[in-house]
């Protein structure tokens, strides 16, 4: 009888220990969500893949997921899930992008799988419309208050900042701009080697101030005084007209034209580098300027990618 009781107690202790280990393991599950606007260009995914690889290498044991904020781009990928011709021609596309979800669904899936500590890191260049919406999503999740604390969906759900920082006292976004300018040193050196000015096309936004692009331009001009540097945006200020006026004023005859965007997608390929009448390349060429287009996203620049890795570390430390 005593022996049976002893066996029962031993079994109970083992069961409780295993349950405790399982609970501890569950609470320690951590994940990072890389939230991007997205791209429909398979070749442009290399920028996002590069960011994902760096973040995974710097955070061993942490699950890293991609998410796209653009409804239109996600719909394109959803249609490709049953497009056998596309899949046959693009066998290198990671399955994760073929079945990409928005940040809300990605966070919800992770929570459902037992991840209670999640960092959402935007790959946005600056704190504009996309970042504001993403911030609202995270705030919405964090507003959940269950009756019992143990049923709260997250231990921690936090949001990192874009490459050029965000408004506020700390961290100082001016320091983020300086770091970003340093990350673009290779572009400046290349333009200098070609005897050319360096022109960037940023995305910008119609509803948020895009003055941070002008601040980045000012920082780069002070940091690299030997090269003419211009930054314009598709939406907002500085506009294409601002750039063309600057090129005329400085009598520039040759430029290196690059996208100031994480991925080299539709804007980079069509609005910037195509032969269409209204592309930046065509407009500059008609001004008598020799244009060299480099269609590479910022995500292919390892120094720029390190910015996102550092912002993840910053929010974790906070």
Which residues are identified as catalytic? 203
Q: Would you call the peptide bond into 65 cis, given omega within 30 degrees of 0 as the criterion?
A: no
| CA distances to 1, 23, 43, 231 from 9, in Å | 12, 21, 61, 72
Residue for token digits 């910037």? 272
311 labeled binding residue: no
235 labeled binding residue: yes
178 labeled binding residue: no
Tokens standing for 76?
């394109």
Tokens standing for 241?
């007209």
For residue 188, give every residue at least 6 positions away whose Cβ sits within 8 Å of its Cβ, in sequence order, or none: 198, 220, 224, 227, 229
Q: Report how far residue 244's alpha carbon sits from residue 232's, in angstroms, rounded to the nearest whole number.
A: 9
Alpha-carbon torsion (258, 263, 264, 265), positive or negative? negative
Alpha-carbon torsion (311, 313, 315, 317), positive or negative? negative
Q: Among 182, 177, 158, which Cα is nearest to 303's?
A: 182
Q: Among 256, 189, 264, 263, which Cα is nearest to 220's?
A: 189
For residue 198, give every residue at least 6 positions away whose Cβ sits within 8 Å of its Cβ, in sequence order, or none: 187, 188, 191, 227, 228, 229, 230, 255, 256, 258
Annotated binding site: 203, 235, 267
Annotated binding site for Co(2+): 203, 235, 267
């Amino acid at each position: 009888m005593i022996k049976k009781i002893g066996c029962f107690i031993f079994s109970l202790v083992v069961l409780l220990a295993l349950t405790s280990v399982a609970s501890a393991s569950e609470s320690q599950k951590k994940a990072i969500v890389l939230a991007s606007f997205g791209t429909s260009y398979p070749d442009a995914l290399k920028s996002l893949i590069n960011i994902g690889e760096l973040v995974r290498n710097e955070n061993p044991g942490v699950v890293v997921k991609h998410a796209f904020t653009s409804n239109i781009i996600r719909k394109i990928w959803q249609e490709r899930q049953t497009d056998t011709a596309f899949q046959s021609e693009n066998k290198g596309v990671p399955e994760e992008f073929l079945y990409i979800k928005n940040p809300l669904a990605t966070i919800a899936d992770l929570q459902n799988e037992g991840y209670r500590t999640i960092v959402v890191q935007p790959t946005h260049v600056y704190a504009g419309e996309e970042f504001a919406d993403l911030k609202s999503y995270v705030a919405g999740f964090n507003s959940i208050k269950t009756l019992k604390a143990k049923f709260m969906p997250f231990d921690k759900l936090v949001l990192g900042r874009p490459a050029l920082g965000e408004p506020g006292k700390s961290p100082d976004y001016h320091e983020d701009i300086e770091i970003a300018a340093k990350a673009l040193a290779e572009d400046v050196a290349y333009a200098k080697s070609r005897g050319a000015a360096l022109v960037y096309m940023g995305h910008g936004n119609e509803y948020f101030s895009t003055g941070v692009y002008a601040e980045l331009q000012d920082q780069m001009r002070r940091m690299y005084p030997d090269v003419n540097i211009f930054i314009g945006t598709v939406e907002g200020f500085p506009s294409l007209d601002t750039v063309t006026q600057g090129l005329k004023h400085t009598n520039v005859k040759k430029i290196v034209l690059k996208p100031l965007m994480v991925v080299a997608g539709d804007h980079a390929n069509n609005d910037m580098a195509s032969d269409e009448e209204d592309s930046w390349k065509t407009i500059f060429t008609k001004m008598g300027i020799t244009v060299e287009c480099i269609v590479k996203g910022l995500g292919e620049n390892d120094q720029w990618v390190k910015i996102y890795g550092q912002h993840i570390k910053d929010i974790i430390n906070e």
